[in-house]
Structure 1
C-alpha cells in the first residue's frame, strides 16, 4: 500500500508526522511525503524536529500573498506530483490551502482522499477565514473522514456524510505532544524566569485578529503585567509582518513581557507545560494545553473546538481588552477558580490516533497490514487500537 501525505504548514507537519510513523511501522506500507512550501521556515523546523526529510518539495510559482495565487499554484503542482506518484490514498490534514489543494488535486486524479481532523465547524465562514471554507470544501471530496471527536463526527453526519466514511480517531496532535513532552528540555526563555514568577504564554496569528484585535491583546497584556507583579508573559511572535510589527510596536522592551522568536515545537511544549495560563487564538493550543491541564482563554469570538469549552479547559473571550483583562484576572487572582478549569482530561485524544487512521486506510485499500516494526527517523509509532465507527 502506498500513501502520500501532503503538508505545507507547521501544524500539518506536527499532526501528520505521527501518521507517517505509524504507517512506516508496517513493512508493507510505503509513504511519500510532499512538502508544499506554503510555509517554509516553520514547516522545515517541524520536519527537522521529527528528523523527517520530504520525498518531494514543490517549487510554487505564486505572488507570495494572495490566497487565490497560492491555491492555484498548489492545485497545479500537486496535481502533477500525484499523477506521477500514483498512490493508493492521499492524506491531507486540517484546513489549510495545502490541505484543500491536496484533496482537490487527488480528486481530479481519481485518487481516494483521507482527511485527518475532519468535521471541525465554527458555523461562520468568516471566523476563521479561510479555514472554515477549506475544511467544508474538503469534506465531500474525502473518502475517509477522520474526526477527532464525536462532536466533529456529528457535524459530518448532519451534513449528510455517510456513516461508513466517518471514523472517530482522536486528534493526532496528542500523539505528537505526549511523545515530545517526555523530553527533558529547558528552553532559554524558561531559564530567564525568576523564582516564584508565574508564566503566561500568549500566541496570536489569526487573520481576523490582525490590526485592532492584536493591538487590543497587547494592551490587555500590559494591563495584566501592571496588575500582577509575579507574572511573566512569553509571546513567540508570529513571522507574519501584520502580526509581528504590531506586537513589536506595542510590547518590545516591556518589563516581564518577553517577545521572542517562534519556538521549536519541543521548546514550545516545554514552555506550555510550565505555564499558569495560556492566552491564544490558535486552534492547536486549544488541543495541546489540556494534556497538561493548563487553562486556555481563547482570543476569538468563535471556535471550532467547542469540546474544550464544554470540558471547561478553555473559555472564549474574544479580543476586547476589558474582557481579556477581566477573565484572566479571575484565574490569576483565584487559584481555586483556575484549578477548576484544570480538572478535566484532554477531550481530543489518548495518543493512539495515528495507528487507528492507518488501519482504517488499510481496510479501505483492502490491505492486510504486516506486523509493526519501528520506523527509523520518525517519532515512536503509537500503539494499535480499534477505531470507532461514527
Structure 2
C-alpha cells in the first residue's frame, strides 16, 4: 500500500486525474483597486463537487477572489470560467452561483420561511413549488419548527442555517461562502463544520469557502489554497498543507511549528545534517520539500510540529553521549494545559524556545513534567521537514 500524508479524507480526488475537466477556472486573474493590487495574476482550478477553501490572513485577497467568482467584482485582467464558459460581464443574478455572506444578511421583517423563499419569488417560481422547496430546505437544515419565527428570535447558529437554506434554495451549481461560521461560538462552530461538510457531500454541489481559520479549512475542505499578499502560495489537500508545506510562511501559518535556521551538510544516501543556529544538530532522511538537495554550506530551515517531538525527564535510551542529532536538552519555561494535551515551552541554553506537546492519556501521572524541570526533547529523522525558503 502506498504511503500517504495524513489520513485519507475520501476517494474523491479529481485533481489527480488529467482527464477531469475544470468546473471553475481562473486564468491569470488580476484585480486592482486604484494603485493597490488585491489579486496578482493568479490561476486556479476547482472541480465539480469539490469543497474548496481559500485560506489566508486578512487582506490577502481571498474575499476578492470569491467576489469575482460571484460577479460582485470584475477582474482587471484575466478571466473566470464556469464549465468552460466565460463569466465576464455576466451579472451576479444571472450566474448559476449563490453567495452566503458572513453577516447572513437575513431580512429582519420576514420570518424564516419567507427569508428562504425570497430568491424563489424573485425568479417567478409558482407558489406551490415555492412551498415545496422551502419545506425541503427546512428539513435539510433541521429548522421545520422555526419556520414562523423572525431572525431576531433565533440563535446565531439557527440564523446561519437559515442563510444556508436560502442560499441553497435556488439550487446553484456553486455555493460561495464568505467566513460563514465566524459569528458562532467555538463549540457550535466545530459542530457546524462537520455538518456543513456532510451536507455538501450529500447535495453533490461545489462549495468554495473563504476563511482565515486554518482548523475550519482543514476540517471541511478537500483542498486548500493558501494565499498571501494577493498570491496563491500552495494548493494541496489539508494533510499535504500541514505535513509538507511548500514554504516557511505556510509552515508557520498553518498549525503550531518550530522552525530553526541552519547550515546544510549532505549525507550519503540522500539524507541531510543541519547545524542549527540554536546550537544543536538535526539529521533528516530526505531533501527539502519540492526542491533540489542543498549543497554543503547552504542555509536551510528545519520545521517540526510540536506533537512530533517526544519530551521526557530522562535522556532517551540509546542516545549517544555528547552532541547527538535530533536531541536537545532544556528547561521547562511555560506550560499550557488544554485537557487532551499539554503544551511545553522549553528554553534552550542558546535562549531559543522549543514547543513540544504531550498527550494526556492518563488522568494521573507518576512523574509529571512541571515548571523549571530539566527535560530532553527528541524526534525521529522523518518527523520534520527541511525548507529551502
With normalisation by structure 2, the TM-score equals 0.27
Q: Which has the higher contact order (CA 8 A, sep 6+)?
A: 1
Point out the structure with the larger helix share: 1
